[in-house]
Structure 1
Amino acid sequence: MKLLRYGPKGQEKPGLLDASGRIRDLSVHVDDIAGDVLSPEGLRRLAAIDPSGLPLVDGTPRLGPCVGGVGKFICIGLNYADHAAETGAEIPKEPVVFNKWTSAISGPNDDIEIPRGSVKTDWEVELGVVIGKGGRYIEEEDALSHVAGFCVVNDVSEREWQIERGGTWDKGKGCDSFGPIGPWLVTPDEAGDIGNLGMWLEVDGHRFQNGTTATMIFGVAHLISYLTRFLSLQPGDVISTGTPPGVGLGQKPPVFLKGGEVIRLGIDGLGEQTQKVVRA
């Protein structure tokens, strides 16, 4: 299934994408794509619904973040060997963990806002993992059974604030609009081989990132197991798993967003995002 949320900000309704690429309204069956709806049983109930019997949604409504009620937005840094190389960083011995604030979450095609005072706003296409079944001390061999689905994430980053201003990375990662999620949540049965998905990102038509999840250092199952040594995961938590090479910081010379650009990004089988860059 490809699950989604559509409508004005803060008023999104649940929906799914049918086989013809049309949005169907799920409001009669669930209140949101969130919480228990993401559990294995919740997803089984949705999978049993005949999409042709659901109301069609007219037009092309705004798409919201593909999951609601996110409790934690956890990110993994330097998780692609080729990206670590372009930044001059050593290959991490353990996953590098940081957070985005949930206020950073936005729809897949919403504007990205360059924060006031920013001079080094950057992009990162990433594979997002949405938790469906919570847990603590999850074994790696069981980890994928806790996944509700996968999605595209743009881990927008302010590099000066992340790297040059002291403290943790978080201050350069969690600004408002810095976490577009979607367009849809793709359940594992339709997501393909998550260990070998092509992923790409373009700015104004120029392709900067063109990579694959095959160069991940730590795979999805390992990341879930690793994180639950330190915290419990709940349904709706999002894990963004790192980016391949081609970020602005890695260009020679570096390239950063100024405002007015259009970013397009996508992952095989998981859909595409398009964002206009504006100044806050």
Structure 2
Amino acid sequence: MSRFISFSQSGQPGYGLATEAGVVNLSSRYAARWPTLREVVAEGALERLAAAADKLQADFSADAIDFEIPIPSPEKIICVGVNFPDRNAEYKDGFDAPLNPSLFVRFPRSFTGHDTPLIRPPESPQLDYEGEIVVIIGKGGRRIPEADALGHVAGLSLANEGTIRDWVRHAKFNVTQGKNFDRSGAIGPWLIPFRHEAQLADIGLETRVNGELRQSDRSSRMVFSFRKIIAYVSTFTTLVPGDIILTGTPTGAGARSDPPVWLKPGDVVSVEAEGIGTLRNTISDEE
């Protein structure tokens, strides 16, 4: 399984492959052609780079880098809300699925990488977790048919779609504020190239806090499929290579506990999905 990462080392950005032996630094070899993973994805070159990296030795250990979100500066990060049946029940809508997915956008600055802290802001203690499967667009398009949608996917990743709960209720019609505090969420640890539908069709997704299982479901139970999400989003906006789509979280977020349980400094949150990996983050207060 090829695991492409974006990273920084001594303040310098780069990208490469995470292997058992360490990190193969591809940016030091290919940056003139592909400055970041976004350009690699746009050219459909993930498989070529993976094959080339098989012949290379690791350049340094994973401890020598800071993980960044896999695609730097994506044009769009689009998030799907309430996309598992039990989540509809949490919102007192019963189990009847709506006709179309609920969507909102997040800014790249609201996410951090794997093994770095999620930041709890001074404005609110209500930092919550949401484990999600991430789809990264490789082939752009507008009004993409559902039948063709997965052909536009370059890779898969994971997200903790961290949310400041009371701030999603500051206004009547939107959740933008509570979803976009700097570094309140995470994407990573890496990008796994998408090769076939079985990678998405029925995979387990779990979120743990300090080792305790909080969320668990399977992608086959999503209200809106990956195909439907891509087709629907591309109806109103042109998808471009490197766009990131977060596809929804299962029931079990801290806000739905009785009483609610919020993340606090020192907590460790892990999001795991079969065939993708584990995204892990600690929690810190904003300095």
TM-score (norm 2): 0.90
Q: Deviations over 1:190-209 (max 9, x none)?
A: 88431211111111222111
Instruction: Please tell me whether residue 85 in structure 1 is matched to residue 89 in structure 2.
Output: yes
Equivalent position of 1:45 in the other structure = 48
* Backbone CA RMSD of aligned residues: 2.1
Question: How far apart are residue 62 of structure 1 and its match?
Answer: 2.0
- 1:65-214 matched pairs, under 5 angstroms: 65-90=69-94, 91-189=97-195, 192-214=198-220
| Aligned residue type for 2:24 | R
CA distance in 2, matches of 1:55, 1:221: 36
Would the alpha carbon gap of residues 196 and 236 (structure 1) be closer, same or farther in structure 2, given more than 3 Å must change?
same
Runs of at least 5 residues in structure 2 that lack an aligned partner in the other structure: none
For the 8 Å contact 2:135–2:155, the answer to whether it is kept is: yes
Question: How far apart are residue 213 of structure 1 and its match?
Answer: 1.2
Question: How far apart are residue 54 of structure 1 and its match?
Answer: 4.7
CA distance in 2, matches of 1:128, 1:110: 18
Equivalent position of 1:23 in the other structure = 23
Question: How far apart are residue 173 of structure 1 and its match?
Answer: 0.5
Runs of at least 5 residues in structure 1 that lack an aligned partner in the other structure: none
Would the alpha carbon gap of residues 103 and 9 (structure 1) be closer, same or farther in structure 2, given more than 3 Å must change?
farther
Q: Deviations over 1:3-51 (max 9, x none)?
A: 1112248632111134x46321112024444333103632243244142
CA distance in 2, matches of 1:4, 1:50: 13
| Aligned residue type for 1:95 | P
CA distance in 1, matches of 2:202, 2:25: 32
For the 8 Å contact 1:66–1:181, the answer to whether it is kept is: yes
| Aligned residue type for 2:40 | V
Question: How far apart are residue 182 of structure 1 and its match?
Answer: 0.7
SS in 2 for 1:52: coil
SS in 2 for 1:53: coil
How many percent of aligned residue pairs carry the same amino acid? 31
Equivalent position of 1:3 in the other structure = 4
Deviation larger for 269-278 or 218-227: 269-278
| Aligned residue type for 2:39 | D
Equivalent position of 1:237 in the other structure = 243
| Aligned residue type for 1:52 | K
